[in-house]
Amino acid sequence: MVGLGYLLRRACWLLMAALVAGCATSPTGRQQFMLVSPDAAVSMAQAAYMDTLRQLARRGKLMNDPQLAERMARITGRLVAVAVEEYPHTARWAWSVALVDDADVLNAWAMAGGRMAVFRGLIETLDLSDAEIAHIMGHEIAHAVANHHAERMSMVLAQNLAVSVVKQNTEQDSQAAPIANTVATVALTLPNSRSGEEEADNLGMRMAVKAGYDPQAAVTLWQKMADHGGPRPPEFLSTHPDPASRITALSALVDDVQNLQPAVPPEPHGVRIYSAE
């Protein structure tokens, strides 16, 4: 039987080869690990997003709120106008926002290709202003333009590669797979997720300001997040940790980006809003 140590070394060599072959650069110059190309991620995200929408519709979880739909189209449209100007290839994306009717969930997320969702609880529980919503959606748009979804998919692929190598070559699945899984998770997932969040904070704030929104709203947004902590903090915080450090970092950026505000806000780019019909 092939030794466990050999198999783990083989998995690690495969991961190292993948890391060398899969390097890319983010909009801020950060080196990214990419086994899944941005175009492939956009294609795969389309199917996943539409499947998610069908599930939400079947469960009656899409909102019926024309006023909020108009508000989100206007705010997000201004942000997307900035994104398209700075990243022209994103004009081809199917920019969209699903309005999820769940008052208990304080969350928002983005997939590749500008496909996003925002939950009722995030907007209503925190009583968000237009500018605060702009910083939420700017953060999510930044994840999309910086190809963070493709990056996360690449990490999962690499993680599964390590597990697959071990499983295909040993009967000691119960021992080997968890070890390979831990190696891949610690080596790939944790370091990049932190830098990705910092990148989205920076890019998102700049886009929100260029869309005509007050940069100070990014700070008040995170203050609201922190104040709503306690026994059941916002789900958004589960993937966006440490609001205190974030508030400090964003506060330091306010003066730097203030001069990016335009004299006249950009005209909103078309954004499809998915809500209950």
Residues annotated as catalytic are: 140
Q: C-alpha dihedral over 272, 205, 213, 264, to 10 degrees?
A: -80
- Residue pair 192/33 in contact (Cβ under 8 Å)? The answer is yes
- Residue pair 114/91 in contact (Cβ under 8 Å)? The answer is no
Q: How far apart are the first and last CA of the chain?
A: 60
Residue with structure tokens 């198999």?
7
Note the helical H segments in 96-233: 120-125, 130-145, 148-169, 173-184, 190-210, 216-227
| Count of C-beta atoms within a 10 Å radius of residue 141 | 28
Joined tokens for residue 17? 């080869």
- Residue pair 137/118 in contact (Cβ under 8 Å)? The answer is yes
